[in-house]
Amino acid sequence: MNETAAPPFAAFATLAELGERSRRLLEALASAPAGAGELRIPDPDDIARTFEEAARRLAADPERVLRQQGQWCLEMADLWRYAMARAAGEVLEPVAVPEPGDRRFADAAWQEIPAFDFVRRAYLVTARRLRALYADLPGLDRHTQRKLDFYLRLYINAIAPSNFLATNPVVLRRAAETEGRSLLQGLAHLLEDLESGGGRLRIRTTREDLFTLGVDLATTPGKVVFRNELMELIQYAPTTERVYRRPLLIVPPWINKYYILDLRPRNSFVRWVVDQGFTVFLISWVNPGPELAHKSFEDYLVEGPLAALDAVRTQVGGRAGCNILGYCIGGTLTACLLGWLAARGERRIGAATFLTTMTDFAEPGDLGVFIDDAQIARLEAQMERCGCLDATYMQTVFSLLRDNDLIWNFVVNNYLLGREPPPFDLLFWNADGTRMPCMMHRFYLRRFYLENRLVEPGGISLLGEPIDLGRITVPAYFLSTREDHIAPWRSCYHGARRFGGPVRFVLGRSGHIAGVVNPPASGKYGYWTHRRPPPDPDAFLARARRHEGSWWPDWVAWLRRRSGSPVPARDPEQGRLRPLEEAPGSYVRRRAEALPQP
């Protein structure tokens, strides 16, 4: 919609069109089945139970409530005095300053216009007192307290004045500048997202029409050289005349698609590794539908890295073995693979790399909010009805972990400001979700997250072999990131120390994705290392050496020493396996449409 001046009748026509679209959408929603088994995230019943329990604890401690109410009144009185003094031209110490990096109030209008400055600071005062009221409630178990903190944070972020038309000066200014057309465009965006979600709000976080796999993303040249029901194996074309003897097999997560490691040439981890002289193979997991509901975690082991190792051996020949790299849940599977090989006395792997990988799930961070018997049983019931977990579930969970960045930021941008979301390769990947087969995901949630069996020697058995991380003696490189909200670095650290071989632990800056996809040319973030990591992760951080820039060169120097002597480069078309198609292959292009509700 053009933001320049337009005849009045054009605005009326647009409004009439939006009204008709709204009517059709409401009629469709009214005629839709009730959906008694619909999986809502977060679960409203669980939220209600959590706050009911908190209310009981507060009722037993009225002094706590009165203390926080009194403190709120004092701080609001201070804020009122600050506002009056400012109106009189006096300068006082500011009340309730936003946290550094809080982009919600970054625009100068929040400070320059007294009314909005007052609204902003009143919100911050109230948020601070609410958090203090509910923090560390006596008698509340740890899991319920974690859920309470999480749900309270969602509520506090949701009621921020930046999220509403009447209390956001940036939105009001834009509406005035565009004579209201920004609000019409925002309503059009809202209806479009509701329509695309079939009545559920599917917030667009990027321009999905501007990216095409194999053209804009996942462009590193290569061939699909093997395929089964669960994965395609890609071998990338060499860019150097000679390569290291031992190839590298990458096992990405199947919660998302592999091309997070092969976005665009400037930030492609895969392309950079190939350019360093490695023969790179990568597993591209299928996006499963209900027809693969029976696939188990053992199937992912057999048809994933075990099948890939056999294919790599056939393709390159010889007995050089293979190095392996696992990312996130792909790293957890890689740890299970190494434990299985160790139990059988097989040495097929020379060295292993783990990127933001959890093997000790005792402290899963905010993801633990969604992990308990009742919530997993509810999730299992939904998966049994549909055959697999809808991709939108994990997408919503990950968005809730960073709700200001991944939800409210786009609510304001798309609906209140009426703007298109900017093109962003990482967020395009984030929206390109994958499903989880019922049997596999049930095992993963219960055995790993809920019961934390992997850290127990023999706590789980796969393909008839008990898994013991202590029997894994191959050299291992662990990369964790300090702001990771999916695989907390301290948990990764404890898991790494359970391995029986030499471990190099590296702690990077940023989060689960940006801290990993951090090419050297960016010059960002930095990382920490320690020659002899102590048992305690905080002691590691206190004594570790800080390095500037990307962790990639540190890792590749470590890997080179474990990759053998150079050999002539390996062309995927010259191997023993017949190429099936060009990279990125077919499996990665399967979009996860919403599953029909039973």
Q: Which of these, 282, 284, 277, lies nearest to 246 by C-alpha position?
A: 277
154 Cβ partners below 8 Å, 6+ apart? 42, 400, 403
| Extended strands (E) in 514-583 | 527-529, 545-547, 566-568, 581-582
Tokens 């929040």 — which residue? 110
Per-residue tokens: 166: 């009447």
Q: Helix or strand or coil: residue 319? A: coil
Residue/partner pairs of 105-114 with CB below 8 Å, 24 or more apart? 105/162, 107/169, 107/170, 109/169, 109/170, 109/173, 110/169, 113/169, 114/83, 114/86, 114/87
Phi-psi sector, 371: left (phi>0), alpha (psi -120 to 50), beta = beta
Catalytic residue among 328, 336, 388, 492: 328
Nearest to 339 by CA among 428, 460, 505: 460
Count CB neighbours of 327 within 10 A. 26
Neighbouring CB atoms inside 10 A of 283's CB total 26
> Which amino acid appears at position 512 of this protein?
H
Residue 523 and residue 492 in contact, taking contact as beta carbons nearer than 8 Å: no
The Cβ of residue 138 has, within 10 Å, a number of other Cβ atoms equal to 8
User: Three-state SS for 325?
Assistant: strand
- 3-class secondary structure, 506: strand
DSSP category for residue 200: S
User: What span, in angstroms and rounded, lies between the C-alpha atoms of 308 and 199?
Assistant: 41
> Following CA atoms 99, 101, 107, 111 in sequence, which dihedral angle do they give, to the nearest 10 degrees?
20
Q: What tokens were used for 550?
A: 């990307």
Identify any residues that bridge with 217 across adjacent strands, giving them in sequence order. 213
Three-state DSSP class for residue 162: helix
Closest CA to 188 of 330, 390, 331, 17: 17
Give residue for tokens 């400070």: 111
**Vertex 486 angle, CA 485 and 489, to 5°:** 75
Active site residue 438: no
Q: What's the CA gap between 497 and 484, in Å, rounded?
A: 19
Catalytic site residues? 328
